[in-house]
Structure formats: C-alpha cells, structure tokens
Amino acid sequence: MALLSKKDRGLIMDPLADNNPITIQVLGICSALAITAQLKASIVMAVSVLFVLSVGNVVISLMRNIIPSKIRIIVQLVVVAALVIIVDQVLKAFAYELSKTLSVFVGLIITNCIIMGRFEAFALGNGPYRSFLDGIGNAAGYGAILIIVGFSRELLGSGTLLGFKVLGDPIEKTGLYAIGYENNGFMLLSPMALIVVGIIIWVQRSRNKTLIEEN
Amino acid sequence: MEHVELFFKSIFIDNMVFATFLGMCSYLAVSKKVSTAVGLGAAVIFVLAVTVPMNWLLDQYVLRPGALTWLGPEYAEYDLSFLSFILFIATIATMVQLVEIVVEKFAPALYTSLGIFLPLIAVNCAILGGSLFMQSRDIQTLGLAFNYGLASGIGWFLAILAIAAIREKIRYSNVPAPLRGLGITFIITGLMAIGFMSFGGMLTGGEEKTETTDEVAKVEVQSQDTVEEEESLAEVSQEINNK
C-alpha cells in the first residue's frame, strides 16, 4: 500500500469495515440477499459489481462537469445500463448456467442502490483516480459481505463450498456426517439470508460501539 | 380465474420483498414511520401498475425475437432482447419523472414528506424487477401484465406497511444495543418472510409444491429437494443397517 497516500488508502479500506456499504450505508441490499444461497453465485455477483462500480465511477467522474444536474439520474442510469449489458453478455457467453441462476439479478445491478449511491455521493464531486479507488473500495466491502453470507449459507445449508463436499458425503455418511451431523436445509431458503445479515450487523456493532444507532 | 390466481400469487406467494428481496433499500430506509411508508407504498403501486404494462408492450412489439414482424417480413429475424435493460430503465425513469411532477402539483405535503425518495423510485429495484420478472415469467396478455404490476405493488405496499408499524412499536422495547435500528429490522423481516412462506401452498391447497417460475426460487427449491432426498436416502440406508 506504499503506492497510495494515506487519504487514498482510507478510500479503499474504510468501506471494508467501518463504512461498509451494506451494514452501515444500507446500500445494495437486494442483490446481497437474493443470490447468496451459493458461494459461486456470490463471488460472480461481487466481481460484476466491482467491474460496474469502478468503471462507472470513472466515467461519471470524467463527465461530472458537463452533466446538467437536472437530468443526471437518467445519464447515470444509461451509463450503468450499458456496463451491465456488457457484464450480462459476457456471463451468457462464458458462464451460461451461472447466468441462468442469477437470472434477473444481473439486470438488477442497474438499480443496485450502491451504484447510484456512490455516483451521487462521490463520483460527482471527485476526480477520476480517486473515484476509481472509491469504486474498488466500496465494491470490495460489498463483496466481502456477499462472500461471508454465501459461504455460511452454502456450508451450513448444503455442506458444500463451491460445489465441493467439504463436510463429507451425507449419503455415504463420511466425514462429519458419520457422527450424526445433518445439513440445515433451512439455510438455503431466502429468509435466512436476512437473518444472517442481521447477525453480521450485530457482531460488527458489538465490536465497534460507535456504530450503534439510537432507536 | 387466471387473473384472480395471478393477483393473489403476486401479492402473497411471490411477494416482492419477502420472496425476491426487491426494493429492499427504500424498504429499510423509509419504514421508520407509517405515514411516509404509506406514501412511498402508494407511489410504488402506481409506478409499477403503469410501467409493467408499458414495458410489456415494448417487449412484445420491439424487443423479443421476431417482435418486429409487424414492420414487414424482412424484420422477422431481428432479436433486440439484449436492449431490454436500457429500454426498460428509460421507460421507468420517464414515468418516475412524470409521477414526481403530478405529486408535486396535487399533493405538495406528500411531496415534501417523500423528499429525496421519490426520484429514488427510479432506482428502486422493485420497479425494474417487476418489468424483468414480467419478461422472464412470460406473461401472456396486456391485462395480465397490468394485473401483475398492480398486485406486485400491493404486495410491496403491504410489506412496508407491516414493517413500519412494527418499527413504530419496537421503539418501546428493550432491544440489545448493537441490534438497534438496522439489525433488528433485518431479523424481523426474516421472520416475516418465514411467515409469508406459509402462503406457498395456498393455490394448490397445500398438497403439492407451487410451481414458481422464478429461476432463483426454482434453484433454491431444487437444492432443497435434493437435500430432502439425501436425507430420506440416508434414513432408508440407516434402517437397512439396523435390520
């Protein structure tokens, strides 16, 4: 990190912890919850958002002085939609099965509040290089939560990670299953995503008391 | 009958918030007071009921493979469906602008209380999600598309109304400090979603699993099924061992 000044380092590191887009800024919740039943889908989603957010931030930051402020939302939507179409087409070409699993949620990156939120809060007021760092940082913070949730849901729900049976085989009773362990199928259902994120928030705020909200 | 079925299915079984997590951001941000929640919910119902049929027309006559045949036979093989994201979002942004103007003119009190959230409806995933699900679930007629938009909006409205009422009450309870605010809201929403899952058997009388056309739900249900199969297989093999 010697390449970056202290201020720039803050841009990348803050969203990973004390200013996390999901648990603190409450941005980009929808996709974080819907696709996290499998770790693989979570990782692909995190990478897609990383691409869209960092490139989009740079583009908006370059155009910030020529966009009339009244129509900026439409301009932003067009930039994001163009980037998301690229992601969607690439996914369809190289990972068709996965793009079926993600279904409409790739398209919903367009309306992922994290993207518009960062455009409004950062890219419209800062230069392209710092906006790029901000994009990387926030997408990484978002991805970190996604991967934690995906990891715990896939591990506890189906006993696999990225499709590998890490806890042994539930049918042949090897590994943990030999001593009576059972998968918790409930973890794969959508409500558990909410509860897992709730628990992450709980843990984070117990560790850092300054983040606690008034009622 | 088809209409009634789709209507109730969209409100309860495929509820936007509890089944597909659409529109979560504004759902969490605007649910502190019942009165603002009602305003935003009404705006969402209206925008969904207008944009879904409009995007249905776009999809039917411009975007899907072979949709341009009405221009002439030489256009029959055009497939513009890759443009659907950008056209849908453009329709939605225009409609939201229109709603904003109308609300500002006729209900200034509501306009000031909604504040920044009205323009944010444009980036509410529930709105774009409604159009995209309309496309992927292959809704057949314009009437059904309108019905789908309206019912999804009502489902979203119910969800935000319920959570806002609960959050108003929970202010008087002793919630553990780190869970206050956002954390407890997440957990309550999770519990409500579990409650809404019990509507799943409504259309089939609870005998069979409902067939959701939603891809994600399908995958989840499938993986759930395999887990159950594995469990029953495991039980059978255990019984054989015991014998």
Interchain proximity B125–A30, CB inside 8 Å: yes
Interchain proximity B85–A85, CB inside 8 Å: yes
B232 lies within 8 A of chain A by CB: no
Chain B: give the shortest CA distance to residue A52, in Å: 15
| Of A202, A63, A58, residue with least CA distance to A118 | A58
What are the residue boundaries of the structural domains of chain A, listed by start? 21-214
For B28-52, what is each residue's pLDDT tens digit? 877 888 887 887 888 888 888 888 9
Nearest CA in chain B to A33: B21
**Average pLDDT, whole number, for chain A?**
79
Contacts of A211 in chain B (CB under 8 A): 178
Higher pLDDT, residue B137 or B225: B137
- The Cβ of residue B156 has, within 10 Å, a number of other Cβ atoms equal to 29
**Average pLDDT, whole number, for chain B?**
76
Which residue is associated with the tokens 């992927």? Answer: B136
Interchain proximity B21–A29, CB inside 8 Å: yes
Residue type, position A40, single letter: K
For A103-142, what is each residue's pLDDT tens digit? 677 877 877 778 887 887 888 888 888 888 888 888 888 8
Interchain proximity B136–A103, CB inside 8 Å: yes
Give the tokens for residue B147: 């019905």
Chain B: give the shortest CA distance to residue A65, in Å: 21
For B154-210, what is each residue's pLDDT tens digit? 999 999 999 999 988 888 888 887 788 788 888 888 888 888 888 877 666 544 444
Chain B: give the shortest CA distance to residue A73, in Å: 8
Whether the model clears a pTM of 0.80, i.e. scores above it, the answer is no
Bridge partner list, A161: A164
Helix (H, G, I), strand (E, B) or coil at A182: coil
What CA–CA distance (Å, rounded) separates B59 from B55?
6
- Taking every pair of Cα atoms in chain B, the longest distance, rounded to a whole number of angstroms, is 78
What CA–CA distance (Å, rounded) separates B238 from B233?
9
- DSSP-derived secondary structure letter, A168: -
